[in-house]
Structure 1
Amino acid sequence: MTAVQSSLIDLQIMWNRLIAVVEEQAQVLQRTAFSPIVREAGDLSAGVFDMQGRMLAQAVTGTPGHINSMALTVGHVLRHFPAETMKEGDAYITNDPWMGTGHTSDFVVTTPCFHKGRMIGLFSCTSHLIDIGGMNASTETTDVFMEGLYIPMLKIVDRGAVNETLMAMIRANTRTPIDTEGDTYSLIACNDVGCRRLVEMMDEFALASLDELAEHIIAHSRAAVLSEIAKLPRGTWHNTLVTDGYGKPITLQAALTISDAGIHVDFTGTDPIVPRGINVPLCYTLAYTAYGLGCIVAKDIPNNYGSLEPLTIAAPENAIVNAMKPAAVWSRHIIGQLMPDLVFGCLRQAVPDRVPAEGSATLWNVTVSGARHSPPRFGVNFRTTMTGSGGMGALPYRDGLSVTGYPSGVRGTPVEIVETIASVIFWRKEYAEDSAGAGTYRGGLGQAIEIESSIGEDFNFHAAHERIIYPPRGYDGGQDGMPGLLALRSGPRLRGKGVQPVPAGDRLLIRTPGGGGIGDPAKRDTAAVQADLRAELISPQAARDAYGMEAVAADSLLPAAR
Structure 2
Amino acid sequence: MMNALEKIQRQIQWNRLIAVVEEQAQTMIRTAFSTTVREAGDLSAGIFDLQGRMLAQAVTGTPGHVNSMMESVNHFLAKFPAGTMKPGDHYITNDPWLGTGHLHDLTVVTPAFHDGKIVGLFANTAHVIDVGGLGMGPEGRSVFEEGLYIPIVKCFSEGKPNDTFFDFLRAGTRTPAELEGDVYSLCACNDAGARRLAEMMAEFAMAGLDDLAGFIFDSSLTATLAEIAKLPRGAWSSSITSDGYEKPVTLRAKVTAADDHIEVDFAGTDGLSSRGINVPAAYCRAYTCFGLKVVIAPEIPNNWASLSPFHITIPEGCILNAPRPYPVSVRHVVGQLLPDLMMGCLHQAVPDRVVAEGSSCLWNPPLRGGAQVSGQGAELPDFEVITFNSGGTGARATQDGLDGTAFPSGVRTMPVEATENVAPVVFWKKELRADSAGAGKTRGGFGQIMEVGAKGDAEFAINAIFDRVANAPRGRAGGGDGATGWVGLTDETVLRTKGFQTIAKGKRLRLLLPGGGGMGDPTTRDAALVERDVADGLVSPAAAKALYGR
- TM-score scaled by length of structure 1: 0.95
| 8 A contact 2:457–2:507 mirrored in 1 | no
Shift of 1:156: 1.3
Aligned pair in 2 of structure 1 residues 379, 456: CA closer, same or farther (>3 Å)?
A: closer
Can you list the C-alpha shifts for 1:22-81, whole angstroms capped at 9, x where unaligned? 000000001100000101000000000011111000000100001100011111111111
1:470-509 matches, within 5 Å, as 470-509=471-510
Aligned pair in 2 of structure 1 residues 284, 128: CA closer, same or farther (>3 Å)?
A: same
Shift of 1:376: 4.5
The question of 1:463 aligning with 2:470 is answered no
- Determine the structure 2 residue equivalent to 1:218: 217
The question of 1:283 aligning with 2:279 is answered no
| 8 A contact 1:371–1:423 mirrored in 2 | no
Other structure's SS at 2:201 match = helix
- Determine the structure 2 residue equivalent to 1:554: none
Can you list the C-alpha shifts for 1:299-341, whole angstroms capped at 9, x where unaligned? 1111111111111211111310010110100000000100000
What amino acid maps onto 1:327 in structure 2? Y
- Determine the structure 2 residue equivalent to 1:559: none
More off after superposition, 448-457 vs 19-28: 448-457
The question of 1:532 aligning with 2:543 is answered no
Gaps of 5+ in 1: 550-562
| 8 A contact 1:235–1:258 mirrored in 2 | yes
| 8 A contact 1:134–1:146 mirrored in 2 | yes
Shift of 1:450: 0.8
Can you list the C-alpha shifts for 1:204-255, whole angstroms capped at 9, x where unaligned? 0000000000010011101111100100011111001111100211110001
Q: How far apart, in 2, do the equivalents of 1:377 and 1:176 lie? A: 18
Q: How far apart, in 2, do the equivalents of 1:262 and 1:300 lie? A: 17
| 8 A contact 1:463–1:499 mirrored in 2 | yes
| 8 A contact 2:430–2:449 mirrored in 1 | yes
1:235-274 matches, within 5 Å, as 235-274=234-273
What amino acid maps onto 1:507 in structure 2? R
The question of 1:234 aligning with 2:233 is answered yes
- Determine the structure 1 residue equivalent to 2:184: 185
Q: How far apart, in 1, do the equivalents of 2:429 and 2:351 lie? A: 38
What amino acid maps onto 1:544 in structure 2? K
- Determine the structure 2 residue equivalent to 1:431: 432
| 8 A contact 1:238–1:256 mirrored in 2 | yes
- Determine the structure 2 residue equivalent to 1:420: 421
Other structure's SS at 1:350 match = coil
The question of 1:404 aligning with 2:405 is answered yes
| 8 A contact 2:485–2:512 mirrored in 1 | yes
Other structure's SS at 2:510 match = strand
Can you list the C-alpha shifts for 1:499-540, whole angstroms capped at 9, x where unaligned? 111122222110110000011111110000000001111011
Aligned pair in 2 of structure 1 residues 4, 236: CA closer, same or farther (>3 Å)?
A: closer
| 8 A contact 2:138–2:330 mirrored in 1 | yes
1:249-398 matches, within 5 Å, as 249-371=248-370, 376-377=377-378, 380-398=381-399
Shift of 1:476: 1.5
| 8 A contact 1:452–1:504 mirrored in 2 | no
Q: How far apart, in 2, do the equivalents of 1:293 and 1:506 lie? A: 43
Q: How far apart, in 2, do the equivalents of 1:455 and 1:383 lie? A: 17
Q: How far apart, in 1, do the equivalents of 2:458 and 2:502 lie? A: 11
- Determine the structure 2 residue equivalent to 1:53: 52
Shift of 1:4: 11
What amino acid maps onto 1:548 in structure 2? G
- Determine the structure 2 residue equivalent to 1:555: none
What amino acid maps onto 1:475 in structure 2? R
What amino acid maps onto 2:11 in structure 1? Q
The question of 1:200 aligning with 2:199 is answered yes
What amino acid maps onto 1:184 in structure 2? V
Q: How far apart, in 2, do the equivalents of 1:102 and 1:151 lie? A: 13
What amino acid maps onto 1:526 in structure 2? A
Calculate the aligned-residue CA RMSD, in Å.
1.6
- Determine the structure 2 residue equivalent to 1:546: 547
Shift of 1:379: 9.7
Shift of 1:88: 1.7
- Determine the structure 1 residue equivalent to 2:73: 74
- TM-score scaled by length of structure 2: 0.97
| 8 A contact 2:457–2:508 mirrored in 1 | no
Question: Aligned residues: percent identity?
Answer: 54
Shift of 1:6: 7.7
Aligned pair in 2 of structure 1 residues 532, 5: CA closer, same or farther (>3 Å)?
A: closer
| 8 A contact 2:380–2:458 mirrored in 1 | no
What amino acid maps onto 1:415 in structure 2? V
Q: How far apart, in 1, do the equivalents of 2:431 and 2:122 lie? A: 40
| 8 A contact 2:334–2:361 mirrored in 1 | yes
Can you list the C-alpha shifts for 1:174-199, whole angstroms capped at 9, x where unaligned? 01100000000000110001000000
What amino acid maps onto 2:12 in structure 1? I
Aligned pair in 2 of structure 1 residues 309, 261: CA closer, same or farther (>3 Å)?
A: same
Q: How far apart, in 2, do the equivalents of 1:173 and 1:153 lie? A: 17
Q: How far apart, in 2, do the equivalents of 1:29 and 1:379 lie? A: 31
Shift of 1:137: 1.0
Other structure's SS at 2:548 match = coil
| 8 A contact 1:369–1:382 mirrored in 2 | yes
Report how many aligned residue pairs link the two structures: 547
Q: How far apart, in 2, do the equivalents of 1:325 and 1:141 lie? A: 13
Q: How far apart, in 2, do the equivalents of 1:318 and 1:164 lie? A: 40
- Determine the structure 2 residue equivalent to 1:161: 160
Q: How far apart, in 2, do the equivalents of 1:66 and 1:184 lie? A: 16
| 8 A contact 2:359–2:468 mirrored in 1 | yes
| 8 A contact 1:18–1:198 mirrored in 2 | yes
- Determine the structure 2 residue equivalent to 1:553: none
| 8 A contact 1:374–1:457 mirrored in 2 | no
Can you list the C-alpha shifts for 1:374-421, whole angstroms capped at 9, x where unaligned? 985599311101100011101111111111010000001111111122
Q: How far apart, in 1, do the equivalents of 2:252 and 2:548 lie? A: 33
- Determine the structure 2 residue equivalent to 1:27: 26
What amino acid maps onto 1:383 in structure 2? E
| 8 A contact 1:286–1:312 mirrored in 2 | no
What amino acid maps onto 1:476 in structure 2? A
What amino acid maps onto 1:514 in structure 2? G
Can you list the C-alpha shifts for 1:339-389, whole angstroms capped at 9, x where unaligned? 000110000001111111100101011221112899855993111011000
